[in-house]
């Protein structure tokens, strides 16, 4: 094990002890902490960026709703082995807290920094991750976030926003479903020269069928 690998291992190991009391299990291979929910999972994910003298550590938050992802993957091009790992929404803590004056990324180059960095990552978990997970722990809250501003792609990225937001609108029986469909259809018509429009149209056909046997 190299020094850099040792430093990463110690951060993951120390943080896993703290997060275990919140019901999170560690995936050291993926540098993340996952908690199963009644609808899917929440993930607190660390990103280790190689720097000359060690690592720069950043963190991200991911939420998966199985019902949404299972519908989405009936028309997606994702290989089967990757489908269980896709999040419904997610963001880096840096993007979520970009106006914050607190440190949101951490430089790790020697063992003496580990305890302080783990403590800071744990504080981010308690003060940012948990409120985020609690804010979007049901379809109604997610629908309000994604569909009240159809052009906001901050939690989904540009490619999948319209598809996943339309699924949610259908599941919660949104009154303006048809209006949203027109907005997202127009978006995909011009986004990436229409590359994703056929996928969106396949999704619409799926959602217009009987959902009771699809979810």
The pLDDT tens digits along the chain (215 residues) read 899 999 999 999 999 999 999 999 999 889 999 999 999 999 999 999 999 989 999 999 999 999 999 999 999 999 999 999 999 999 999 998 775 657 789 999 999 999 999 999 999 999 999 999 999 999 999 999 999 999 999 999 999 999 999 999 999 999 999 999 999 999 999 999 999 999 999 999 999 986 655 55
Query: Given this model, what pLDDT does residue 101 score?
Result: 59
Helix (H, G, I), strand (E, B) or coil at 145: helix
Residue 103 DSSP SS3: coil
Given this model, what pLDDT does residue 198 score? 96
pLDDT of residue 209: 87
- Write down the pLDDT at residue 214: 52
- At residue 54, the pLDDT reads 94
Scored b (16 or more CB within 10 A) or e, 112-122 reads ebbeebbebbb
Closest to 116 (Cα-Cα) out of 45, 4, 10 = 10
Please report, for the chain, the start and end positions of each structural domain, with discontinuous segments joined by +.
3-66+88-135, 139-213
Q: 161-171 and 197-207 are packed helices; what angle lies between their axes, rounded to 10 degrees?
A: 10
């Amino acid at each position: 094990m190299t020094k850099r690998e040792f430093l990463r291992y110690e951060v993951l190991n120390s943080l896993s002890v703290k997060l275990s009391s919140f019901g999170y299990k560690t995936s050291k291979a993926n540098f993340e902490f996952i908690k199963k929910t009644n609808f899917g999972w929440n993930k607190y994910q660390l990103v280790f960026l190689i720097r000359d003298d060690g690592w720069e550590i950043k963190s991200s938050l991911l939420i998966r709703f199985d019902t949404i992802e299972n519908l989405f993957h009936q028309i997606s091009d994702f290989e089967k082995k990757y489908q269980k790992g896709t999040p419904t929404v997610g963001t880096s803590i840096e993007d979520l807290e970009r106006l914050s004056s607190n440190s949101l990324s951490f430089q790790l180059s020697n063992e003496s920094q580990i305890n302080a960095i783990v403590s800071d990552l744990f504080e981010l978990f308690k003060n940012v991750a948990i409120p985020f997970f609690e804010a979007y722990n049901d379809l109604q809250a997610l629908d309000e976030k994604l569909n009240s501003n159809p052009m906001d792609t901050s939690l989904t990225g540009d490619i999948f926003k319209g598809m996943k937001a339309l699924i949610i609108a259908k599941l919660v029986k949104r009154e303006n479903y048809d209006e949203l469909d027109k907005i997202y259809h127009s978006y995909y018509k011009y986004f990436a020269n229409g590359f994703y429009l056929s996928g969106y149209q396949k999704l619409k056909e799926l959602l217009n069928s009987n959902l009771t046997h699809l979810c």
